[in-house]
A and B are shown apart, each in its own frame.
Chain A
């Protein structure tokens, strides 16, 4: 069993309630932080921990906190990103549903460190029942003196508010989230200025993911140095992985980042192997936006080394032969899955979610969706595959926000690694309607060298 810092207590009956959570040692980090540490010392501790943002980009949290501007007389805000809409990702939901007080505890400490007296949790609108769970936890915390005015006689005031979104993946992008929190359409802003300078209501703002903020609790409890000893290299601490697709045990797992991908998929402690005795074909290891990898490149890097579940190892080989940790949404495809169809559903997703501000993203996502549907239905041409490649290249890097890239990468990776399957949909159009391509040469555990 690996180290558990976040979910260790998730299975204790009643842990969702304040009494049980507190009895199990909850809110100790608030006592420690507010009674014995300065805001600067907390930021230092988080820096030392090496904690990287868990929302997808992996930006060091302590460094982000140290960037927040502190103009005289201007309020600052912490915003918790609970928009969680990246296909394959459902870890924040698990944390909020089962351990709402852990998030609230982390939010209080982070709010104190950043000087945020009014902190907002922006939660995707569909998680409607979780709003109730969070608001109950907030009220309990407030009734017990952890929120409100002059918390623990520290002179620090803090309130936490939960804001529901209304169905828009783009509102997970931090500047779109801020726009949405201001009651507007979720159109990402042009950066700079960054939120740390001008964010919510033009005030200095830090946006962090749910899991990032929950991780502040163990960091304060055990200290940044101890936290940094867990994991490997720049992948410190533990990470929540939401595993789904064709596996025996879909669910949310906390790993320390020394687990190999193979162990994660096949061991009973985690995914429990591929469902129905099938074989592994491919995996999208970090949420729908990151490159899909065929089985052979997933379990081992192009150099033939074991691949591990951490930031560095998952991205080993760059986009040519690697992928990314992303949001931790781990999607497994078995031998019966069609890569073209899977890529089509993702392209449809990004077309649906594009905010429409930039023409490469707005037009490109729709065009890719159309071409992929045509190929999937057996009505495509060989030249469509090259056209897809061309379109995705023209989107990447040419847009206001990274949704454009996020839409381009899955298409690029699918063609890069599974081109023969796309071609087969053209050359065997009829057959492709009645059966799937199967494993071809991607089978585990045979390792074939792959050219980029």
Chain B
């Protein structure tokens, strides 16, 4: 069963307290981030129903939002999610080569996860790092000025971390 820990509930309450009485639905986006981070990196329907009950709103109100925003994963993803930007400014700075390199290195296509469940490759639209292209988001942080060598190092770093 999905349930926030004591610590996560403290954070939940902090988030809800930012809005006026009766406007707790406003906390939905941040609470979904918290839920996704807490329950395996994606939002199952069980997780979404739980969030709905906590915020005292209808489950459909949560589904509507979870399906609208690209950062919520509605399917399980690998432990390390590579989100590589592919919009114009990154394209003119060579992101296609980096995407191809990651594909061949991990032997997966865009949208796929490696069989060991470690890596998922996703292409995303402009992340506001156009001057530091090519780039990707990995967890909370950006990895910028990507080269093939840097990609190798990142993959090695993730593998080492997961051991």
Interface residues of chain A, those whose CB is within 8 Å of chain B, are: 75, 84-90, 92-93, 118, 120, 124-129, 161, 163-169, 180-186, 201, 242-246, 250-252, 284, 288, 329, 331, 333-334, 337, 341-342, 345-346, 348-349, 352-353, 355
Instruction: Select one of A93, A246, A353 contacting B128, CB under 8 A.
Output: A93
Complex Cα spacing A22 to B62, Å: 42
Contact with A along B5-44 (1 / 0, CB 8 A): 0000000000000101001011111101100000000000
Known contacts A166-B70, A346-B88; is-contact A126 B127 (Cβ 8 Å): yes
**20 interchain pairs (CB within 8 A)?**
A75-B20, A85-B128, A86-B126, A89-B130, A126-B127, A163-B29, A164-B29, A166-B72, A168-B69, A181-B26, A182-B23, A183-B25, A242-B131, A244-B130, A329-B130, A331-B88, A331-B89, A334-B92, A345-B88, A346-B88
Q: Shortest distance in angstroms between A204's beta carbon and chain B's nearest beta carbon?
A: 14
Interface residues of chain B, those whose CB is within 8 Å of chain A, are: 18, 20, 23, 25-30, 32-33, 55, 57, 61, 64-65, 68-72, 86-89, 91-93, 124-133, 137, 140-141
Complex Cα spacing A85 to B92, Å: 18
Instruction: Select one of A166, A182, A329, A333 contacting B69, CB under 8 A.
Output: A166
Compute the total of residue contacts between A and B using a CB distance below 8 Å.
147
B88 touches A166 (CB 8 A): no
Complex Cα spacing A182 to B124, Å: 25
Contacts A181-B26, A246-B93 known; 12 new A-B pairs at CB < 8 A = A124-B128, A125-B69, A125-B71, A126-B128, A168-B68, A183-B61, A244-B89, A245-B130, A252-B131, A288-B126, A337-B92, A345-B86
A245 touches B69 (CB 8 A): no
Complex Cα spacing A242 to B133, Å: 13
Q: Which residue of A lies closest to B62 (CB)?
A: A183
A242 touches B130 (CB 8 A): yes
Complex Cα spacing A250 to B130, Å: 9
A246 touches B92 (CB 8 A): yes
Which 4 A-B pairs rank lowest in CB-CB distance, beginning with the nearest? Answer: A183-B28, A250-B131, A166-B69, A167-B70
Complex Cα spacing A128 to B127, Å: 11
List residues of chain B with CB within 8 A of the CB of A127.
128
Instruction: Select one of A92, A124, A169, A341 contacting B91, CB under 8 A.
Output: A341
Complex Cα spacing A201 to B28, Å: 15
